[in-house]
Amino acid sequence: MTAPFRNWDEIVAYGLSLPETELAPFYGTPCPKVNGKAFVAPGREAGSFCLFTNGLDEKAMLIETDPETFWETPHYRAYPALLARFGTDARDRLETYVARAWWDRLKKPQRDRYGPRP
pLDDT tens for each residue of 77-87: 999 999 999 99
Residue 1, in any domain of the structure: no
Q: Is 37 helix (H, G, I), strand (E, B) or coil?
A: strand
* Largest Cα–Cα separation, the chain: 37
Residue 113, in any domain of the structure: no
Burial 75-97 (b: 16+ CB within 10 A, else e): ebeeebbbbbbbeeebbebbbeb
Q: How many domains does the chain have?
A: 1
Domain that holds residue 13: 8-108
Residue 20, in any domain of the structure: yes
Instruction: Report yes or no: 103 and 52 within 8 Å, Cβ to Cβ.
Output: no
Residue 45, in any domain of the structure: yes
Residue 116, in any domain of the structure: no
Residue 41, in any domain of the structure: yes
Note the pLDDT tens digit of each residue in 43-69.
Answer: 889 999 999 999 999 999 999 999 999
